Amino acid sequence: MSRQKKNHQNNNHSLLTTQPPLFKQVCVIGLGLIGASLAQAIKDNGLSERLVAVDRHGPSIEEAIKQGLLDAGSSRLSEVVDGSDLIVIAVPVQAVQAVFSDIKQAMDDGQLATDCMISDVCSTKLNIIDAAKAVFTSLPVGLVPAHPIAGAENSGYHARRANLFVNHSVIICELPTTNETSIAKLRLLWESVGATAMSMAADHHDAILAHTSHLPHLLAFNLVEQLASHDDNLDMFRYAAGGFRDFTRIAASDPKMWHDIFFANQSAIVSALDEYGVYLQTMRQLIINKDSTALMGLLGRAQAARRHFGHMLASTPYTDTTAMSASYIITPSNTVSGTITIPGDKSISHRSIMLGSLATGVTQVTGFLEGEDALATLQAFRDMGVSIEGPDNGKLTIHGVGMHGLKPSKTPLYMGNSGTSMRLLSGILAAQPFDSVLTGDTSLNKRPMERVAAPLRMMGAVIQSTGHSGTAPLSITGRDTVGQPLQGIAYDMPVASAQIKSCLLLAGLWSEGTTTVTQPEVSRDHTERMLSAFGYPVTVEGNRISVTGGGTLTGGDIAVPADISSAAFFMVAAAISQGSELTLTQVGINPTRTGILDILKLMQADISLSNETHVGGEPVADITIRSSNLQGIEIPEYLVPLAIDEFPVLFIAASCAKGRTVLTGAKELRVKESDRIAVMADGLQTLGIDCTVTDDGLIIEGKGTTGNGAASQSDNVNNTHPIFGGGQITSHHDHRIAMSFAVASLRASKQIVIEGVETVNTSFPGFAELANQIGMSIQVDDASA
């Protein structure tokens, strides 16, 4: 275990480890909150043989010595500094130069080695370097300015906390003059007290801090001042509610400190303030002009950005961090019943945002899936300047910008866990005049992207993937730089993938000439249908689909049907359990998605459709499914792309069927959110199912029995004996793996625990609640709560 991990897990590191302390003597100058907290953390983690401090405030020093924190202390540096190998300056920024003069004197007097490490904790950096330059003829080799991004409501020695820096960042500004050992040792020191060390140039640090810390403090002070100067200020403050308090909380901090910082970081703060003025004027003008669309766009973007950046920085799915590393603890149940509505279709939700944004006019969407994946697409278009209101109970209003209205995003477009967002967007972005970068969470950044990048290059796109295996991040060069538009191509797709097909058709909308894709098997056709619904001509001749560039899209209303891929979990739940009957209302039954119905019917499932109608260009129906004794089958390969997302739960059905089920021609399953063949086989084996992994599929020995031979199908069903044992399953952060094993609990003898279920939110928010509503028993354990 590294020193860093060991230390902040165990405060008495020095007693338990044989590692010598990092330093012989650390001298902390200034025992305010940060200085004293660092001193305490150094002491508790045994990082220095001796610890001394300098502070003008005598009582703090005396108390710190009495409490055993310090070995010595004084108001004068020269009295304690002798032999120190690290000096940490923790005084207000304006006082740093005087400290440097004392340090130089100590060096000249031989109390300190000239290569002694010198660092600080101040929140501005360029002025610290200037102060050092003013004092030392040449910058000391041990000087490494640093800034821990940590603080607390209270200040002073008594507010100190040894864990103040745990899980906080510390920015280390290495100078060209600093020696390697000093940089490495300072990093180790901060990591040993629990911080995450990162390097940054001093000018960049000052600009970032000016925007993220100094400007907000300045505005908070300023707003309080504005209210206080009103004649009716008493009323103003009396009625100032949560918003005012939240916004101005930081104006309660030390005026002297902020006074010093505002001068110390003068130029960066002034430029941040100027930029703020421009934004403020824009907003003022939108209000004056009653420009509702633009104002909603701005507010919506800002609201979403607040949440979005956190996930992007952490490379996590959009899922709330509070829900990270959640598990399902599932008690076996044996029957399900009821009539339920499944959330909206993920594929159609993605496309509604994309085409709605590129259309002219307004697009109203209902039934939009508010899952993480579709929200990633939504955020991307907001980042590219599209005003989108909602989602509010599945309702969205998209103010389309037209085929040429997207703007470059200021940051990489973050796709979270969503392969569909990344692959379809790469087609759209390859055709835009501006450069873009597409990135995703750790799992998405491992999935193959050359399958879209390579044919896009044939169209003239300039697109760079990452690493040997051609994964995200993807960098796309804009057409303005390339100098000519994309060219239509005829492309024979090596795999039946709706994502590849859609990517190329979307790129084809801006290409010169015609783009034709030929797919080896039918894959979902939502892109083709929605393009037609938006008035864009699409030619479909068997498996050949073509679009010609240069057309336009016209916004309209889109009603998103329930997602048959999500419905599949409950179809299998009803089929494999005893005495079950479930009706799933208004589920999309687009024939390119109904492989699940065909396969379950081949397995003798009892499924019927009613209320068949059309919603927004897509066929829908109520699906009723009852218990039945399933039969193992050889799954016809042409059905594979039509049920591509449903195989994890079909494997659960196959385990409950009588006899063997054989899946072939399904290599694509290996490159989904996880390797769904390997991961499902592992889980099935854990639960006692005999199955064999093949290169392109799985063979499952079902443990079901036939019924009792009675005449009617429902009398004949015998689904009472357990098929699965219990155990612990890891979902590999794949939503469909998690939900499939949840369904297995209907035929399990013991509890099933599924780890890593937070990604269920990518496609099916509310899955566990709905499952419990129909009779299952899933407890969600949020480990981080």
Binding site for ligand S3P (CB under 6 A): 347, 350, 420, 497-499, 502, 523-524, 644-645, 668
Beta strands (DSSP E) in 345-404 are 362-366, 387-392, 395-399
Tokens representing 707 are 């019924």
* Shortest Å, Cβ 644 to ligand S3P: 5
* Shortest Å, Cβ 676 to ligand S3P: 10
* Shortest Å, Cβ 583 to ligand S3P: 25
Q: Which is nearer to ligand S3P, 311 or 350 (CB)?
A: 350
CB 700 within 8 A of CB 652: no
CB 651 within 8 A of CB 532: no
From 406, 441, 403, select the one nearest 421 (Cα to Cα). Answer: 441
Q: Which is nearer to ligand S3P, 520 or 537 (CB)?
A: 520
User: What residue has token string 């405030």?
Assistant: 57
The conformational region for residue 157 under phi > 0 = left, psi -120 to 50 = alpha, else beta, is alpha
Q: Please tell me whether residue 406 adopts helix, strand or coil conformation.
A: coil
In order, the DSSP letters of 493-555 are -SS--HHHHHHHHHHHTTSBSEEEEE-SS----HHHHHHHHTT---EEETTEEEEETT---B-
* Shortest Å, Cβ 351 to ligand S3P: 7
Distance separating alpha carbons of residues 422 and 404, to the nearest angstrom:
20
Q: Which is nearer to ligand S3P, 214 or 350 (CB)?
A: 350
Instruction: Name the residue with the smallest CB distance to ligand S3P.
Output: 347
Q: Which is nearer to ligand S3P, 509 or 723 (CB)?
A: 509
Contacts of 607 by beta carbon, 8 Å cutoff, 6+ apart: 571, 575, 597, 600, 601, 623, 624, 625
Q: Around Cβ 426, how many Cβ atoms within 10 Å?
A: 27
Q: Which is nearer to ligand S3P, 424 or 689 (CB)?
A: 424
Q: Which is nearer to ligand S3P, 85 or 525 (CB)?
A: 525
Strands ordered across the beta sheet of 86-89: 72-74, 48-54, 23-29, 86-89, 117-120, 143-144
Q: Are strands 413-414 and 436-439 parallel, antiparallel or unpaired?
A: parallel
Beta strands (DSSP E) in 82-130 are 86-89, 117-120
Catalytic residue among 55, 373, 441, 645: 645
Q: Which is nearer to ligand S3P, 420 or 436 (CB)?
A: 420
The neighbouring-strand residues paired with 391 are none
* Shortest Å, Cβ 641 to ligand S3P: 7
User: What residue has token string 């703007």?
Assistant: 407
Distance separating alpha carbons of residues 111 and 114, to the nearest angstrom:
9
102 in active site? no
* Shortest Å, Cβ 418 to ligand S3P: 9
Q: Which is nearer to ligand S3P, 479 or 672 (CB)?
A: 672
Distance separating alpha carbons of residues 258 and 225, to the nearest angstrom:
15
* Shortest Å, Cβ 763 to ligand S3P: 8
* Shortest Å, Cβ 419 to ligand S3P: 7
Radius of gyration of the chain, Cα coordinates, nearest whole angstrom? 32
Q: Which residues are catalytic?
A: 645
